Amino acid sequence: MKVSNPSPPATPAPMAERKRGHIDVVLSGRAQAHSVEAGFEALRFEHCALPELDLEAIDLSTQFLGKRLARPFLISSMTGGQAGAEQINTALAEAAQELGIALGVGSQRIALAEGGHRGIDASLRRRAPDIPLYGNIGAGQLRRDFGSAALLRAVEMIGADALIVHLNPLQEALQANGDTRWSGLLGQIERLCAELPVPVIVKEVGFGISAPVALRLVGCGVAAIDVAGAGGTSWSAVEGAMSADPRRAALAELYRDWGIPTATALREVRAALPALPLIGSGGIRSGLDAAKAIHLGADLVGQAGALLQAATQGVQAVLDHFAQLEDALRLACFATGSKDLAALRRVRLL
């Protein structure tokens, strides 16, 4: 059901201004889910008192969509063309290159529509020549705004290894002038998968992807899925914080905790699609959460909101953030007797 506008819509702010507002709300701490958790706190690994391996010898490398990564981490999409994004994207690209992890850029809608790349251009690939780099566009733009030629341009402008298509129907419905025409988009995704020369990854923005939806997406050619579940940043809360309309803000607050918890989405999508390249994001707050996500079926673990503060501070802050994440993941492997990520997936949960 389409959410009606409770009052005449205000003149829409430029896209870049909206993106800047999104960043400000997330940094303020007002966008977190309240009563829904990602689901990792309920899981406990069986401790191994005799691991029979050396901590530093544990192998955290992985393969994803044909690319080798030194660590199973993805910097998830967070900046899409607003003022200040170039500095953030530069720090993220340089850190990702040093760490050997994947990087997903924010929405390229502004770059395609207005030419305002703000750091989402060929300079990213120059700073990160060896890592998987993923472009990004919203599903809502596939029908109306951009055809295959434009999306090929999105891939080429950053030398992307794949294109992420993000699903955000609830977020759009809570925006003044948001795009609520979502009929026929599965067919548009299928066309894109057939025509684009790189793999297509589909992700949610924080409300989760269910197993039935994942099956439909894979059936139309999607190469990988990021479940992006509930329990972290709530984009309903973000839109509520930005709304000047009290009725719309109240509606957004009502849906702050909407969605499928990340742990549930991972478990169910992995059960339905055992061989699917799968990303777990949404409420990943520590390396121990990352270990649990990997155990549930994630090949990569993504962070965006939890990483944003570090991203605004520069390369070293991003490196420090991931060092802490890696330390906790490595310790989870050590304390379960897991020599690598494949072994971690086989240990017992209590």
Which pLDDT belongs to residue 12? 40
| pLDDT > 70? residue 84 | no
At 145-177, the pLDDT tens digits run 688 888 999 999 999 999 999 999 999 999 888
Which pLDDT belongs to residue 77? 85
More confident of the two residues 120 and 256: 256
Which pLDDT belongs to residue 6? 39
Say if CB 88 and CB 117 are below 8 A apart: no
Mean predicted lDDT score pLDDT of the chain: 89
Confidence of residue 15 (pLDDT cuts 50, 70, 90): low
For 247-270, letters b (16+ CB in 10 Å) and e give: ebbebbbebbbbbbbbbbbbbbbb
CA-based nearest residue to 274, from 220, 329, 229, 214: 214
Tell whether pTM > 0.85: yes
Which pLDDT belongs to residue 243? 86
Over residues 189-201, the mean pLDDT reads 96
Q: Which residues, 6 or more positions from 156, have their beta carbon under 8 angstroms from its beta carbon?
A: none
The full set of domains in the chain, from first to last, is: 27-344 (3.20.20.70)
Q: How far apart are CA 116 and CA 82, in angstroms?
A: 8
Over residues 259-263, the mean pLDDT reads 97
| pLDDT > 50? residue 13 | no
Task: Write out the two tokens for 91.
Answer: 């720090």
| pLDDT > 80? residue 225 | yes
At 68-82, the pLDDT tens digits run 999 999 999 876 555
Which pLDDT belongs to residue 240? 86
